[in-house]
Chain A
């Protein structure tokens, strides 16, 4: 059966794409953010995942207000990135893993998740930028992906509790997949931020740090919050925390924290990074 090696949760602020394109990683503004990633790359070099199952919100590239699925699962052989009209470079397409996608879809529907199935899908900055942070260089991505999008655009949003259960079901699917693949779970977005209105710039560091701590050892504590609670505590766009909650729900067994980073600000956002290892998986030891 497939092995879940662990989970990476990271912010995906569009401005990161501009900073990478302009080579600003060492600028004083950006350095505390980019310095978070080399330890993650060292961990990836050790655990060598073949495929990543990624939870994130689509910001309108696939799904607009005309048709907006609450949850959608990609089942395409390849996922192109595209111009989102935000002035950041378009990155190379990433390969899919349709066999795993369909196994996850079958499991989710059997578990009564009425998801949307997508044999054509584009990936926006919510997946392309985390890939660029984890495997820099802009070359061919050394990983296949299964994108799972969550609606954080238009209310009513799914709840943190539902997001957790979605993750749990995906985790069970991966662990029952007849494959020797090593699977990474990704959750992208957040942490606290508000882009719009008079409250723009809202950051709640105590709440963010509480969530990052809970995601390691007591993640179900976060399922007690409602979407309203997240808007109040983490900002109008801080609801992306639900992608982290889903990713944690998908992570089985005993976990240990490999690495974390938290930095304010990147643009309007508190940037978070958390890496968890599945201690029940047979993984190469650290040198």
Chain B
């Protein structure tokens, strides 16, 4: 029998936020949650590198935050609900972050959504013949 977590591996372009990711990303997500407070947002903006020192994050996680590399942050345990607080601190919407993660210009991403979004065909399973 396929385990609960292994079963998710078949879904393309998706990192399911399971125990492995949650343990890996705990302090990265803690940093994100700190951005709910205006004073913390101001402190982060004033000096990002030293603000990140307050959290027990890995070097790779810090560099991914500084580079605003959202796919890398997700690979290192970030959860999008929390990572979006970095984007909002930068003045960006969820849609802008999605365009970054999909490697599409924001206009092209918005146009795809207005046209009905990314379709299920070819995007449900890695074994989908339509891929």
Q: Do A and B bind each other?
A: yes
Q: Verify B93–A199 contact, CB threshold 8 A.
A: no
Which residues of chain A come closer than 8 Å to B19, judged between CB atoms?
Answer: 154-155
Which residues of chain B come closer than 8 Å to A228, judged between CB atoms?
Answer: 4, 7-8
**Would you give the shortest CB distance from B110 to chain A, in whole angstroms?**
9
Give the contact stretch, choosing among A38-46, A93-101, A131-139, A265-273. Answer: A265-273
| Given A87-B88, A267-B94: A201 in contact with B117 (beta carbons within 8 A) | yes
The distance in angstroms between the C-alpha atoms of A279 and B61, with both chains bound, is: 54
Which of B1-46 touch A at CB < 8 Å?
4-5, 7-8, 10-19, 22, 26, 29-30, 33, 35-38, 41
| Given A85-B41, A155-B4, A232-B11: A60 in contact with B18 (beta carbons within 8 A) | no
Q: Verify A231–B11 contact, CB threshold 8 A.
A: yes
**Would you give the shortest CB distance from A30 to chain B, in whole angstroms?**
12
| Given A203-B118, A264-B113: A198 in contact with B88 (beta carbons within 8 A) | no
Q: Verify B93–A154 contact, CB threshold 8 A.
A: no
Q: Verify A202–B8 contact, CB threshold 8 A.
A: no
**Would you give the shortest CB distance from B39 to chain A, in whole angstroms?**
11
Q: Verify B81–A59 contact, CB threshold 8 A.
A: yes
Q: Report how many residues on chain B are interfacial, defined by Cβ distance under 8 Å.
A: 57
Q: Verify B94–A268 contact, CB threshold 8 A.
A: yes
Which residues of chain A come closer than 8 Å to B93, judged between CB atoms?
Answer: 15, 267
Q: Verify B94–A195 contact, CB threshold 8 A.
A: yes
**Would you give the shortest CB distance from B124 to chain A, in whole angstroms?**
5
A205 at the B interface (CB under 8 A): yes
B74 at the A interface (CB under 8 A): yes
| Given A60-B82, A156-B4, A268-B94: A199 in contact with B123 (beta carbons within 8 A) | yes
Which residues of chain A come closer than 8 Å to B84, judged between CB atoms?
Answer: 86, 195
Q: Verify A198–B85 contact, CB threshold 8 A.
A: no
**Would you give the shortest CB distance from B29 to chain A, in whole angstroms?**
6
**Would you give the shortest CB distance from A20 to chain B, in whole angstroms?**
15
Most buried by A among B37, B91, B117: B117
| Given A196-B101, A231-B16, A236-B16: A64 in contact with B33 (beta carbons within 8 A) | yes
Which residues of chain B come closer than 8 Å to A156, judged between CB atoms?
Answer: 4, 18
| Given A86-B85, A231-B11, A233-B124: A153 in contact with B118 (beta carbons within 8 A) | no
The distance in angstroms between the C-alpha atoms of A232 and B41, with both chains bound, is: 35
A83 at the B interface (CB under 8 A): yes
Q: Verify A203–B91 contact, CB threshold 8 A.
A: no
Which residues of chain A come closer than 8 Å to B118, judged between CB atoms?
Answer: 194, 199-203
Which of A145-174 touch B at CB < 8 Å?
153-156
The distance in angstroms between the C-alpha atoms of A97 and B46, with both chains bound, is: 43
Q: Verify B17–A200 contact, CB threshold 8 A.
A: no
Which residues of chain A come closer than 8 Å to B37, judged between CB atoms?
Answer: 83, 85
Q: Verify B18–A207 contact, CB threshold 8 A.
A: no
A280 at the B interface (CB under 8 A): no
| Given A196-B15, A197-B101: A203 in contact with B119 (beta carbons within 8 A) | yes
Closest to B82 in A: A60
* Cβ-neighbour of A202 out of B4, B38, B71, B117 (below 8 A): B117
Closest to B70 in A: A196
Which residues of chain A come closer than 8 Å to B16, judged between CB atoms?
Answer: 155, 231, 236
Q: Which residues of A contact B (CB under 8 A)?
A: 14-15, 59-61, 64-65, 82-87, 153-156, 192, 194-207, 228, 231-233, 236-237, 264-265, 267-268, 270
Q: Which residues of B contact A (CB under 8 A)?
A: 4-5, 7-8, 10-19, 22, 26, 29-30, 33, 35-38, 41, 70-71, 74, 79-85, 88-89, 91, 93-95, 97-98, 101-103, 109, 112-114, 116-120, 123-125
CB-based closest 5 A-B pairs = A203-B117, A198-B13, A199-B13, A196-B80, A265-B113
List 6 additional contacts besides A155-B18, A198-B14, A231-B16; criterion CB under 8 Å. Answer: A15-B93, A65-B79, A86-B85, A195-B84, A198-B71, A199-B13
